[in-house]
Structure 1
């Protein structure tokens, strides 16, 4: 960590280059060659500034948090301390799953600045690949591995209660990012809010129906309570298809600034929910000669494979470490295969339904809440976009209210097919 004396945004190239020259951990990556440095700002505009720095002898990414929500301006203050929790999560998840988390080179807490590996082309944001209709044959394998390793190994299935409480306490400081999630995922879509928007006028009645659905409100209240109260594992906290970078043989998870100890199903559900959104958007991207039907089938297979592989890997880790330091199920009590299998079956069933609930909540907020997804927003025909969004919204509402009836991911996939 560098010891900068005060915070300042590195808002132009000259300031950035001066900072890099004074920071050995970064200048050494460039071999102190600054003459032909390419510095480009590539942030999505929601929260942070993100710069790609490429020189003749090296490259990296600089991410700097600013003290407000970037897409809303200074009227919505936001702690820049989120960068501290992001780097903690990157390092912990990178230690647990190094193949799928980029390496951190440098952190400056005063500047709220992280320097990390540049995921060079052909890496692209997964969401953009899904919009383009690109298949990624290893995606389910890689994402199931990332989720199984990071969630199992930061839970009480792996931790002692002492270590777990210490870790929970460390991340409790990320309260503002948690409150932002509480607001935009579990509150705003279900009431009149100045931040909500949708494809008007086509979805006006649909948005109103969400705000007037009493059974939906009961379900989202239960999910919000779980999100706020259940310190189950170190979750990414914002694991959508815009937080994953991919090639045909590489999958890298980025941007865990919302990380804290929360319910595992929030990560699993957010990711699968975003794949479902991508599925429902495909008709809006279809064109003559490519109706996207084959690609939609690939997305459905990927959804199914992701959960099934995750479940296999998670239980395998549990079996491998059942005599380890984890104190959730002490081996002196859960000391035979029959009782262990009963516990595992209940645990995974509960986690599956938690994931469906959180996934549906994430889908709803992306259609009638504050921040939407490019999958839909890039459909230029508003009427066609609204048709895609309505099918996704209706599915999400059903999934939230009826999630307990689903016994497997195959049943969920079948239900998606029935409403497409």
Structure 2
């Protein structure tokens, strides 16, 4: 598979041959096995690992890699939804850029092949997908610290605060990502508020979808957030930072899948992770076995939301104080105003994310996997209530504590 290779979707045999040709990963005589493991919406994903008489499966093998190949269409829909293969380049370059800043928080990249639109990277089989871990009520004591560091460093050092402005503009050009941004623009900021064929709304809450299409005040706030997403090239975003894009253990965190990366408003990434934690908080009516367990785990998750923002803000201020490159950014009061706006954006985008995950095309397993239809409906209505509240209040927010209070009141009110 040379540079002149013509694109084609890989099969298992192709993946094994590709793995053999990567220098420094497997020995030339290694016996390799491959399995397709992708269950996402857009890509093919293979795991290739070395086997011996002592290690016959991937969990035991000391040498494992992941091969992720972009398809020229959305896997979740089919060939009727074409997509650019350039997203593989964007993902690879974003992972490499993140790895230069926070190497311990992202998988190592071994290879990017532009002709086959694939990235070869470190395998994280020893980790748990965070969404699944939260549904099992696992505890991750270092996560808030880890994700706050990831957000602070990747956002600060890709912005005009931490990067020469001309270099930053060249980066904006390099990470133009119109096709995947179009998905976000439609699925998050348009479809939930109209009669879109992309929407996926349970019959039990169709009344909520109708209300969304009639709520002019809410749509006004969504449009302001959409405008920023369309026009504000503030920092290089991950672009899809949810709990399904995070591999985790109690001691370690790895952020994956930045194929939606582009230059946009910082709050979009922060809001995405906050939204997913709140959605899991709501879903604990099902995942927690009893009221006391539920109360404790919900308190734990909401404290995690609080800690993420507070630790992000502290780290971001420290980076600003010590590494800012723009002299004018040291103007008295500007740092405080800047971070207040980032918080407000984060809250607004969190609300938008919550709404789309209930009535839009792609839901979350936290809520969709609830087997009791009445419990699921309450969770959906609670998520929509809180999501709308966060959108409507975003421009007035001054503290993360207001977000926690809104969540607590929303859960207590709808799920009482």
3-state SS of the aligned residue for 2:224?
Answer: helix
Superposition deviation, residue 364 in structure 1:
0.6
3-state SS of the aligned residue for 2:65?
Answer: strand
Q: Over the residues paired in the alignment, what is the CA RMSD in angstroms?
A: 1.5
Task: Give the TM-score normalised by the residue count of structure 1.
Answer: 0.92
CA contact (8 A) 1:2 1:107 kept: no
Residue 251 of structure 2: which of 227, 249, 256 is its match? 249
Aligned counterparts of 2:68 and 2:239: Cα–Cα separation in 1 = 18
3-state SS of the aligned residue for 1:89?
Answer: helix
Match of 1:221 in 2: 223
**Equivalent residue runs for 1:34-183 within 5 Å:** 34-35=30-31, 37-56=32-51, 58-121=63-126, 123-172=127-176, 174-183=177-186
3-state SS of the aligned residue for 1:137?
Answer: coil
Aligned counterparts of 2:4 and 2:121: Cα–Cα separation in 1 = 18
Match of 1:16 in 2: 15
**Equivalent residue runs for 1:278-289 within 5 Å:** 278-288=280-290
Aligned counterparts of 2:247 and 2:154: Cα–Cα separation in 1 = 17
3-state SS of the aligned residue for 2:268?
Answer: helix
Unaligned runs of at least 5 residues, structure 1: none
CA contact (8 A) 1:83 1:109 kept: yes
3-state SS of the aligned residue for 2:257?
Answer: coil
- With over 3 angstroms needed to count, the CA separation of the structure-2 counterparts of 1:255 and 1:2, relative to structure 1, is farther
3-state SS of the aligned residue for 1:292?
Answer: helix
Match of 1:413 in 2: 404
Moved more, 398-407 or 344-353: 398-407
Aligned counterparts of 2:404 and 2:290: Cα–Cα separation in 1 = 26
Match of 1:203 in 2: 205
Match of 1:188 in 2: 191
Structure 1 segments of 4+ aligned residues over 3 angstroms from their partners = 288-291
Unaligned runs of at least 5 residues, structure 2: 52-61, 412-416
Aligned counterparts of 1:234 and 1:319: Cα–Cα separation in 2 = 20
Answering whether residue 27 of structure 2 is matched by residue 31 of structure 1, we say yes
Aligned counterparts of 1:292 and 1:246: Cα–Cα separation in 2 = 22
Moved more, 53-62 or 364-373: 53-62
Superposition deviation, residue 286 in structure 1:
2.6
